[in-house]
Structures are given as structure tokens and as C-alpha cells.
Structure 1
Amino acid sequence: MQRHSSDGHGTVIRFRTAGLVLLAAHLLLVAWVTLRPLDVPWVSPANLRPFASIRADVALGWEHGVRCVGAGLALLAPLGVLLPLAGGRLQVSPWGSLVRTVAAGALISLAIELLQTGVPGQVVNIDSLLLNTVGVALAHLAVVPALRARIRRRNQARPLPQQEPAQGPTPTIPRVGVAP
């Protein structure tokens, strides 16, 4: 039986476990922030035109626009790091990882927007979907490739533990003739 390196395998398990715990905590926080009923005197109509609410926020002033765009980018940005971390893969195509992570982030954002249709005071906004997805992509590009490279280097720098000595060749049984 061949033993796995306890350091490399243990590292992946620790990162995957930490990623799953942090991912669950972040998704609970996002659900609490975005799916709470709001007690407002009026509700704006749903925005299905891309960039319309971004233009409206910037028209109210650059500071307000930057704050609103930044909030949209930051809401789901941790998913860009937490989703690959929860996956626990070190040897993966960078582009494949980016596409999977951005697609998952877009689907999570779409689910939030669709769930908001049933929450009083919350409305669907296509710009939130776009900003959340871009935030996931930016966080992934900024952190994940460097983090994976660092973990791979650290695992390669460690000496491998000594393997158990081989038991020798597999024994063979001589053919036995047919009994009378």
C-alpha cells in the first residue's frame, strides 16, 4: 500500500475545510444582507436595463456612485477566492478555474436577485448582477493564481517522507495438474 504524503494531502484538506466553513458563513451573511425585508415608504421599479442604476448613482455624485459601485463589487467578491478554496484543487487550468468560479458567482447572484422579488422592499437590479459577477472575477484574478502557486511551492519544498520498503515480487503459484 502506498502512503500519501501527510503534509501535502493534509494541507489540501485543511484549505478545503476552511474554504467550506468560510463559504457557508459568507453566504449566510449575504443572504441576511440582501434578503431582509426593508421597511421603506416606496419601492423603485425593477431595473432590467444594464448600467442604468450605475449612471443614476454617478449622477447623484461621484462619492455616492463610487460607494454604490464598490458595494456591488464587494458583496460577492469573496466567492472568487472561497469557491476555489472550497474545491481544494491545486493542479487546475487557470482559465478553467476562472470560468467555473465566475459562472458560479453569476448563478449565485442571479439566485439572489430572483429571491429578492418575493422580499418586501427589495427589487431586481441587473446592475447588481453585473457588479457582483465582476467582483467575483476580480477577486479570483487577484488572489487565486498566486495562492495556488504559493501552496504548490510550499508542498514541493518539503521533503517527502520515506516510503515503506517494497515487500518483494508478487509470489507465483506453480500450476497444479488436474486431479484424477
Structure 2
Amino acid sequence: MQQRECQDGSAVIRFRVVGCVLLLAHLLLVAWVSLRPRDVMWVTATNLTPLAGIKADLALGPLAAAHQIGEGLLLLAPLGVLLPLAGGRLRVSPFASLVRTVLAGALISLAIALLQTAVPGQVPDVDSLLLNTAGVALAHLAVVPAGRGALRRRSRRERPAPLVREEPSQGRTPTIPRVGIAP
């Protein structure tokens, strides 16, 4: 029984380490893509009106819109899987996991947008914040519940039957009669 607990513990640690390494690699890639200076002759104005950029993308045509919207959805989407993987929990409320992951993705997207204000050629856009957060939520919903369910089923299958030792009976537990309060 003790050896099985060690194996489960080392598996959880391995999942967390892999999750943290992949999360760090992805965040470095996102920082490189989103925060490097660009040499451009002109930049568009900062978009602070929700869905205005998405409407403008849709006006360009379906192919251009799919490219722009897909780019926004896919930039931080791996966080929807990597954040729970780095957490390493199998038994957690699906709703709580989704909320925690989406909030973390939104905060990371907001941090990127705020850092973009200091980078030449990069323009923050509220629609990118919305699309990045939606991408995190969609990736989480598509992968994490099914993955956790499969891992829980696998761990139940591999778990050996518990060793139950029956202790010899020593008879009835003695009772002590109640003693009244003295006058």
C-alpha cells in the first residue's frame, strides 16, 4: 500500500513538472510573438471598444476574418490545458477548474496587453483580450474534463484492492454508568 502511494505521488510530480516546463515554454513563445518591437510606418489606434475589431475583421471577408479571429483564439489556447496540467489535480470540481483557468488566462492576456503599451509598433486591443480568454476556455472545455476522467479511470483500474486487516474482537466495549451530581 505504501509503495502505491509513492508511485501516485511521483506520477503527480512528473505531471506537474512537465506541465510547468511546457507552460513556461509556451509563455516565452507568447512573449516573443506579442512583445517584440515591430518596424512599421504607421500603427492603428488602440481599440478599447469591445467587438469593434471583430466586426472590422468580419467586414474584410470570411477568409481574412477566420484568420484574424483564429489567431486571437489560438494564441493563449494552450493555457487552457497547461495551467491545469501544471496544477496536477485529478479530483477537482470541473466548474472551479474552468473558472480558475479562464481567470488566469484573462489575467495573462491583460498583462500582455498592458505590456504592449510600452513596445513600439505593438497596439493593445480589447478584442484580443476577449479572443484569448475565449480560446483558453474552449481549449479547457475540449480537453481537460475528458483527460481527467481518463486518468481517474486509469488510476482506479491500476489501484490494487485495499488490504483490510480485521482485528480480533476483544468483546463488548464496557460502559460506565452515569454518576449524578452531588448535592
Q: Given the two structures, how large is their TM-score scaled by the length of structure 2?
A: 0.85
Q: Which residue of 2 aligns with 1:6?
A: 6
Shift of 1:58: 1.3
Matches of residues 75-90 of structure 1 in structure 2 within 5 Å?
75-90=75-90
Shift of 1:13: 1.4
Structure 1 length-normalised TM: 0.86
CA contact 1:5–1:161 (8 Å) conserved in 2:
no
Are residues 1:131 and 2:131 paired? yes
The aligned counterpart of 1:144 is: 144
Aligned CA-pair RMSD: 1.8
- Cα deviation, 1:36-62, whole Å, max 9, x if unaligned, reads 001000011100001111111111111
Shift of 1:15: 1.1
Question: In the TM superposition, what whole-angstrom CA distance separates every residue of 1:117-157 from its partner, at most 9, and x where no partner exists?
Answer: 00000111000000000000000000000101111111111
Match of residue 68 from structure 1: 68
Which residue of structure 2 lines up, in the alignment, with residue 22 of structure 1? Answer: 22
| Structure 1 counterpart of 2:20, one-letter code | L
The answer for unaligned runs of 5 or more in structure 2 is 166-183
How far apart are the structure 2 equivalents of 1:76 and 1:161? 42
Instruction: Show the counterpart of 1:121.
Output: 121
The aligned counterpart of 2:170 is: none
2:68 equivalent to 1:36: no
Structure 1 position 94 matched with structure 2 position 112: no
* Identical pairs, percent: 65
Between the aligned partners of 1:144 and 1:159, the Cα distance in structure 2 is: 22
Partner of 1:56: 56
Which stretch shifts more, 154-163 or 17-26?
154-163
Looking at structure 2, the residues matched to 161 and 32 of structure 1 have their Cα atoms a distance apart, in angstroms, of: 50
Q: 3-state DSSP class of the match of 1:41? A: coil
Count of residues in Structure 1 that have an aligned counterpart in Structure 2: 164
- Superposition deviation, residue 14 in structure 1: 1.4
Asked whether the 8 Å contact 1:46–1:125 carries over to 2, the reply is yes
